[in-house]
Structures are given as structure tokens and as C-alpha cells.
């Protein structure tokens, strides 16, 4: 595998994980360690189940930014894209990707990106057996330990729930989420993998659920910071994506 191929594989792996923080809530108060009430988890399950539908049927516009970071913390390779993503019924083929704009280190590469998107059109969608799910999903809750970490001092219905897997795995995450217990909604979630896959040393991912959709609140912003590499080649990537124009594709 060439150096360029290894670098691209690492970036793709990290970016793939990101595509699943806490906004200011006023002064939060640390809470004694306590279990999360079953009623709260039951309410959050509904939002987590709706999120699974969003992943399957949700179409959106994404404005993404990806940069490789050098040893001094400066961006050395920068990519920006605006694209419209539309999944197709059955989810057996790759979603339609309409590239609006793509730049690489400031140079317009939109035509090249459109050609690559067209080449993927109609291709069979790869099935990820280690797809990540919100820990509040009913089928996932038994894998985790949940504790109440903080309460919002001004809005007591908003709390931060910490979670960790009972057994580490590549499809199990650890972190915390701010949730609205009265609405049964996840407001934001920050997490890392409990077990890192090949070529990834560490990755931190944050999702902010600020976009109203027909299927419920969806992520409006995703950000990540990841490090990894192959043998003696180490890489550091960071990126973000803003999602807008939500719609249900089918």
C-alpha cells in the first residue's frame, strides 16, 4: 500500500466514523453518581429509534470541512465540500450525491468530485457490520452502564448522562450526552470508541441535535478529531460538517 493510499484510507476511516459537545446550558451543577431512571431511558429510546430511521431515509445538504493537521497544529491539507445526499428506497445502493461545490487546498475541484460521485451511482452499498448506534436505543441499552453526571442549574429537565459499555468493542462507544428528559430527546452527544479499529489511535466525535425534521430532531452539526496511522506514519485529522435542508427521501 502506497503512502498516499494509507493516508486516504485513514482519512476515510475517520470520516466514516464521524458520519454519528454540549451546547451552553447555563451553569451546570455536578450531580452525585446515580443511576438514570428507567422512564428517562424509555423516552430516549424513542428518539434513538427515530434516529435509525433518519440514517436510512433522511436526505440533507452537507457542508463539510476536513483538514490534515501537521505537528505544529496547522492545517496542511484542506478539503471543503457542499453536497446534497439522498438515500434510495431499499438502501441497497449508494445514496445519490449531488456535489454543489468541492475545493482542495483552495482549488476548485468540483468537476472531478462530480465525476467520482457519478461513478459510484448505482453501486451496491457496503454493509457495515459494526455500524454505530446511539446507546439509548432499546437494543443497545443492555450493553451499557448509564449514570447521571450533571443537571442544568436553570433548566432541571436537562441533564448530562454519562455512558460506558459493559464490554469494549469496536461498535461500542463511551462518552456523555445532554438530554431533555421532558421531551425525551438527545440535545448533543460526545463520544469516542471503546475499542479502536485498525489504523485509528483515537477519535473524538460530537453531534449536536439542532435540526427539526419530520422524523424528529436530527444532527445539525458533526465534528471530530482523530489520530492514527500505519507503522511509522502518523496522521492527525479534524473536521466538521453542518447539515441543513432535511427531508424524508422515501
More confident residue, 6 or 87: 87
Q: Where are the beta strands (DSSP E) in the chain?
A: 28-35, 58-69, 75-86, 96-104, 107-108, 144-152, 158-165, 173-180, 185-193, 200-208, 211-213, 216-218, 221-230, 233-248
Q: What is the pLDDT of residue 32?
A: 57
Per-residue pLDDT tens over the stretch 143-152: 999 999 999 9
Per-residue pLDDT tens over the stretch 63-100: 999 999 988 888 999 999 999 999 999 878 999 999 99
The top-scoring range by mean pLDDT among 6-10, 121-125, 126-130 is 121-125
Question: What residue spans define the domains of the chain?
Answer: 3-248
Amino acid at each position: 500500500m502506497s503512502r498516499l493510499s494509507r493516508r486516504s484510507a485513514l482519512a476515510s476511516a475517520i470520516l466514516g466514523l464521524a458520519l454519528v459537545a454540549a451546547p451552553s446550558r447555563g451553569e451546570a451543577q455536578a450531580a452525585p453518581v446515580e443511576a438514570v431512571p428507567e422512564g428517562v431511558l424509555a423516552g430516549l429510546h424513542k428518539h434513538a429509534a427515530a434516529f435509525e430511521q433518519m440514517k436510512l431515509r433522511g436526505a440533507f445538504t452537507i457542508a463539510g470541512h476536513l483538514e490534515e493537521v501537521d505537528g505544529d497544529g496547522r492545517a496542511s491539507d484542506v478539503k471543503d465540500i457542499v453536497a446534497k445526499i439522498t438515500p434510495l428506497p431499499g438502501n441497497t445502493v449508494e445514496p445519490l450525491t449531488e456535489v454543489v461545490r468541492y475545493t482542495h487546498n483552495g482549488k476548485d475541484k468540483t468537476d472531478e468530485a462530480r465525476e467520482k460521485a457519478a461513478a459510484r451511482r448505482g453501486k451496491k452499498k457496503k454493509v457495515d457490520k459494526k455500524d454505530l448506534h446511539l446507546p439509548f436505543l432499546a437494543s443497545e441499552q443492555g450493553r451499557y452502564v448509564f449514570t447521571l453526571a450533571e443537571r442544568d442549574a436553570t433548566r432541571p429537565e436537562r441533564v448530562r448522562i454519562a455512558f460506558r459499555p459493559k464490554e469494549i468493542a469496536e461498535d461500542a462507544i463511551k462518552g456523555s450526552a445532554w438530554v431533555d428528559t421532558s421531551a425525551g430527546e438527545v440535545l448533543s452527544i460526545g463520544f469516542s470508541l471503546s475499542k479502536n479499529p485498525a489504523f485509528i489511535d483515537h477519535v473524538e466525535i460530537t453531534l449536536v441535535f439542532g435540526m427539526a425534521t419530520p422524523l424528529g430532531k436530527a444532527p445539525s452539526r458533526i465534528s471530530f478529531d482523530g489520530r492514527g496511522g500505519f507503522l511509522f506514519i502518523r496522521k492527525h485529522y479534524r473536521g466538521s460538517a453542518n447539515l441543513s435542508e432535511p427531508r424524508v427521501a422515501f
